[in-house]
Structure 1
């Protein structure tokens, strides 16, 4: 008896992805006194792999004014950061046609119902707006054989967003339009990296402007590693601004003069003292200690114990310890209470839990009732796994050893400015931001071959999300409008 050889069963294949979904709604609104009819296209865009098969689905919200001339009508691509965050913060907090209203004075938004209103400050009268959620955030995801982590890295993320922008310009026939990028927090890193991808290798996609809200381009300014004094120096003026806000420092000549003094002290006295380390003469150490205490509101005894170094999480616990309060990271105007007052670090970030429920509520209400998106799929506000697995260094380009390093895209911005004389850059800074401090942005501009004369630097009486503060929201929008021209 003989038997015929049997072949192994074929491996199961994943079903092809469904066609890209699209939800279109039409609206009317008044923006800066101008009544407009516009539509929102909330849609997936499939990006192909080298074989032409879909590998990523990028979900975006395109707000498009009817009957606008594509050759003159600007378009602005907007995203937040994280990495791992969706675009809801700028979408529902500042730039979209609907926004959430929260208290301006640093008090928590609490529980609902929240005030979700038409945003008359939306710049839709000047530019179409495209809010982009990179894969792993919002409704965006990888497809087919691609793994989620294939999108999670400085280089991979920038490649995908750059590819999305080129595809969007083609699909919407908007290659002739003036083009802008707007990113917040890590989104500023992404914005510069994306602009670099699109400007290089004959890609030929130049931008008219890049808006960097709460910027971090050189991560060395925020790495509190032992032996790196740049982070201490970059954060110190924000400590001073916070101490002044709580009445723990005085400014007889006004806040601006006080912050200028803090900047000068940071660069001319504090930095040399930290570099000197154990070589610092006792008399000089005492002078630096006294001045650091006066500017930051922290006791000389505590500062001496920390060897003059102030890590921001420690600062948030220590500054108001005698009152039993901690201060926020994203915005030091917010305060919270911990389980006890004896610890070294705060339990959590008061400026985060004060507003997160309001924003999550706002985006989900907008998606379901405002835009009619009927999916049961959850909208991923923040993907912690993406943050934990983020590839900061990118693919190895050759066989040479990869030495330890840190992320710095600021030289890319300098190159973009040198090669594109029409590029305009705005850097928006919150005075009470302990995530991406304003002096860190100033140091980044000074040290990376960037023409400071080409950078519009703006400052606001709020924190990382300066638009939580109503007067700062109005000022930010006004500055963006003036910058765009």
Structure 2
């Protein structure tokens, strides 16, 4: 499951066992036990909204907005088109006194899969921003919620969407009989908790939203983080080629399109060495940040350019040789890896030159009995088990999740006037995620979906963004995926890239959040103008 859980993503396997998630699940069970036995999902069958007003100051300019917190009800397809399947929660921000048909609109979501979108909402682009420590554990409550000077409302109206089953979103099984309801809920999970089912649900939500708020003629954007980038590739293809919705742009943060490039668990896929090659620059960046290199470079980016050349050249060739690699050459490669990662030469030799993400996180700071972060390797925390091979938790999640949980639960009820007597789930209760895509089994790869969308809509622009300190979805892997999209060379010009000295959740580093905002706002401005 480690390979799937990528939310600003954010390791649901870790949070699902946290005290917060446990309390949410317990509250949900109590809620279900006391609900109307005759119609347990009755409250979910009708869309709901709560409208409020507010303002945010971005770059010294005040923006007045109307906020809508609410739900839309999704339905089945074909002969089941009248059968409700899910109630999806969203928070939309509309700039006042703007012309809806000309004002850009951006649909934002985190990953997981099955994550709520509290992270992008409260950490990145909503009108209020959670304050957390830069690379250390944020102290306990009371926490701070401030005006977000990097809110994207200066460039676009915003719609933050919680995945089905997460946040206030819920699957619907409209059956009175408990046995039939349980069977129907099982079917809902099998359908929606899957690569294609999830994307279809988001596509239906977006088209409903465009109709409800008269936004069909607005410039339209998708913004996905982590698994949300995987979703965006499939979703954009569905919108373009099944629903005939042209998008102006797709914005990808902390991308993973091909799971064969993941540094999480490559040891279970022997013979495929690409993940080790693509993760090496991130390992080097992390060692640079923590001053674990034998010789500290003067600057990060020139150093990473050097590591990238080594990774794609000598290192890749050495791994390709496998058992045929000469001992002297293996020793030389191990010594070069030591120079770039700070890991001991003997450790690298025992690892056969192949270090997974979990091994690196556990080993880099081992002399101090500390574990480096996965989603943001700038963070570190005491090792749960100093003798373990892999890291046992992610210090970033432990550092910031309680702040987001507390402040969103307060904000949504006090400011947005929604959610009384409801439980907000950080993650959906997903036992298994259906990885079959477009009828194919095997490692998930949605590069073809994005390529198809770009070919059938050659005006579509893509902005790829990410952090140098992201071990979960290494930046060099994202660059590799973009360079290998099956598209004509002429369409490569439609792709822009921006990288920041931050982790998976780029916005957790305030200077990087400002740069991310500026890059995204410029991208939207330039791609939403009339020709």
TM-score by length of 1: 0.92
Change (3 A) 1:217 1:66: same
- Alignment map for 1:13-162 (pairs within 5 Å): 16=42, 17-49=44-76, 50-104=80-134, 106-145=135-174, 146-147=184-185, 148-149=188-189, 150-162=191-203
Q: Distance in 2 between matches of 1:296 and 1:141?
A: 44
Which residue of the partner structure matches residue 230 of structure 1? 274
CA-based RMSD? 1.7
Change (3 A) 1:247 1:395: closer
Which residue of the partner structure matches residue 443 of structure 1? 480
- Deviation string 1:321-372 (CA, Å, 9 cap, x unpaired) is 1112110101111111124422222231111101010111121111111111
Please tell me whether the aligned partners of residues 215 and 441 of structure 1 are also in contact (alpha carbons under 8 angstroms): yes
Q: Distance in 1 between matches of 2:318 and 2:241?
A: 42
Does residue 1:218 correspond to 2:292, yes or no? no
Q: Which runs of no fewer than 5 residues in structure 1 stay unpaired?
A: 1-11, 397-401
Which residue of the partner structure matches residue 321 of structure 1? 366
Change (3 A) 1:340 1:29: closer
Change (3 A) 1:24 1:476: same
Does residue 1:428 correspond to 2:471, yes or no? no
Deviation at 1:67, TM superposition (A): 2.4
Which residue of the partner structure matches residue 261 of structure 1? 306
Please tell me whether the aligned partners of residues 192 and 412 of structure 1 are also in contact (alpha carbons under 8 angstroms): yes
Q: Distance in 2 between matches of 1:51 and 1:181?
A: 25
Q: Distance in 2 between matches of 1:254 and 1:375?
A: 50
Which residue of the partner structure matches residue 436 of structure 2? 393
Deviation at 1:461, TM superposition (A): 0.9
SS at match of 1:64: strand
Deviates more, 1:160-169 or 1:18-27: 18-27
Change (3 A) 1:346 1:76: same
- Alignment map for 1:303-322 (pairs within 5 Å): 303-322=348-367
Change (3 A) 1:91 1:269: same
- Alignment map for 1:341-380 (pairs within 5 Å): 341-380=386-425
Please tell me whether the aligned partners of residues 55 and 127 of structure 2 are also in contact (alpha carbons under 8 angstroms): no
Which residue of the partner structure matches residue 464 of structure 1? 504
SS at match of 1:187: helix
Q: Distance in 2 between matches of 1:475 and 1:373?
A: 32
Which residue of the partner structure matches residue 522 of structure 2? 482
Q: Distance in 2 between matches of 1:406 and 1:90?
A: 27
Deviates more, 1:336-345 or 1:149-158: 336-345
SS at match of 1:331: coil
Q: Distance in 1 between matches of 2:287 and 2:258?
A: 26
Deviation at 1:471, TM superposition (A): 0.7
Which residue of the partner structure matches residue 4 of structure 1? none
Does residue 1:410 correspond to 2:455, yes or no? no
Q: Distance in 1 between matches of 2:56 and 2:352?
A: 56
Structure with greater helix percent: 2
Q: Distance in 2 between matches of 1:210 and 1:131?
A: 15
Q: Which runs of no fewer than 5 residues in structure 2 stay unpaired?
A: 1-37, 175-183, 526-531
**Which structure has the bigger radius of gyration?**
1
- Deviation string 1:377-422 (CA, Å, 9 cap, x unpaired) is 2111123x32x411011474xxxxx6x5211111221222222232
Does residue 1:241 correspond to 2:268, yes or no? no
Change (3 A) 1:346 1:19: same
SS at match of 1:275: helix
Q: Distance in 2 between matches of 1:484 and 1:395?
A: 30
- Deviation string 1:268-319 (CA, Å, 9 cap, x unpaired) is 1111211211111122212211111111111110000011100111111111
